[in-house]
Structures are given as structure tokens and as C-alpha cells.
Chains A and B, each alone.
Chain A
């Protein structure tokens, strides 16, 4: 059995994959499991604590990238490239919020790329995701 705090994520990922295959029955099965096991605990108490964890992750990416390279795993290398960029964006948004406060979001929207997790702060979502090149239709407004 995989460690417990990966179960809801594995399941929600498989549910999305089943949806893409137009298999609503299988998607529903995995979604139900994703919800049932979604009882994880926060690992940080506030935004500053979350920033610390995210900053630590940024130092882990290069090692993981090396491991994926030496295993010849192109899929993992791709995921790590996107993940590293998105994680850097997460950190910079928290940084900017911690220094500017609520004013950072004044009159602006937040848009998340459903394909890679890139977060955009601005008036409207970009035409193409700068991290993964997904089209504007893959962005959702928070």
C-alpha cells in the first residue's frame, strides 16, 4: 500500500485521466476514493510556514531531476521541470503577498492552469500557459 497521504492525490489524478478517456464510470469510482481518503493534515500553520516548505522543495528539485535523468525517465523529467517552475511561482506570489499585503490582489484576478498548476495574477488569463503551453481554455479563475 502506498503511503496514506498520497492516496487522495493518486485517486484524483486517475479520475481526471478516466474523464479524458470519456469513461465516467471509472472516473466516478476514483473520485469517490479521492474524497473518502481526503483527510490529510496541514504541514504548515500559516502563509509564512507554507513558504518555508515550498522554498525547501525548490532545493529538492535538482536532485530529483538528476535521478530522473539517470533513470532515463522522460515523463518524470517533464513533470519536474514544470513542477519546479510552478513551485517558484508559488513562492514568489507568497513573497509578494507577505511584503505588499492585500494590495497585491487589488483589482486583479488569479488564474490557475489546470494542466500544470501555474498561477497567473492579472486582469485575464494568458493566451498560452508560459510553463506548459496549454491554451487559455485550460485556465480557471479562482
Chain B
């Protein structure tokens, strides 16, 4: 596990700089240098007055396998939403009305988010889980 800073919450009080034994918290980018961070040390997490630091896991447990009927249904739904997203995209590209373009752009974004949620609940939640890794390998990624 390594520490990571939520830059939107960090108030630059710098307590994490005082407590870190390795200097991992002191970087140019503002993000913590995970390569210098000691596995699970968490001194900076507890010291931060802004609750801006959290530990990122590098190993996640394998998720419970999904019921295949539900997973298939969620994937079918995902595909349907994706076709709708592409429809909204085409409308946003071709409409002569600015208002319609804007509405279609909003629908496009919204439909992708709903489609992604279906994919997630079809078993593609964790990028490092076996199912996702197999899928990626099949795509040549």
C-alpha cells in the first residue's frame, strides 16, 4: 500500500512533510512519490489535518463471481446504451440547432456513464481482476 494525496483537499499545511521518514511526500508535482513510500506506513495519513491523504492498495481481493444470467443481461443493456450514446453523438454532430446539440451532448455523456455502470455490474469493476485481465489479453492490450 502506498500513500496518495487528494490534491483538491490538500491545504498545504505541510505536516506530512514533517512526518514522512523518506521524503516521499515532498515532490514537485504535489503528488506523493509512491516509489519512495514505505508499504503501509501511514504516518502522513494520520498527520494530515485536512484528511487529504489515503492509502492506495496494490492488491485487491478477487471479486465474487457474478451470476451469469445477471451479468449477461447487464452486458446486453450496456450494448443498448452504447448504441444510444452513438445516436446522441451523431445528433450532436449533425444538428443545426445549438440547443439540440447541447442536449444531445449531455445525453451522450449520461448514456456512457449509465452504460459503464452496467459493465461494472457485469463483473468489470476491478481492472486487475482475472476477468478483466483475460478480457484485456483477448483484445491484445
Binding site for B on A (CB under 8 A): 1-3, 5-18, 21-23, 26, 29-30, 32-33, 37, 40-47, 49-50, 53-54, 57, 60, 64, 67-68, 71-73, 75-76, 78-80, 82-83, 86-87, 90, 93-94, 97, 101-102, 104-106, 110, 112-119, 137, 140, 142
Contact = CB atoms under 8 A, between A and B. Distances in A.
A73 B112 contact: no
B104 interface: yes
15 contacts: A1-B138, A10-B78, A30-B141, A33-B139, A49-B87, A54-B84, A73-B66, A75-B120, A76-B74, A79-B74, A79-B120, A83-B114, A93-B103, A102-B97, A137-B8
B113 interface: yes
Interface size class on chain B is 35 or more
A87 B84 CA distance: 11
Contacts, number: 202
Contacts of A11: 139
A75 B125 CA distance: 10
B121 A117 contact: no
Interface string B90-113: 110000011110111111011111
Given A43-B87, A44-B87, A9 B78 contact: yes
A13 B138 CA distance: 17
A140 B132 CA distance: 28
Nearest to A89: B110
B67 interface: yes
A33 B56 CA distance: 24
Given A18-B127, A67-B70, A102-B99, A42 B105 contact: no
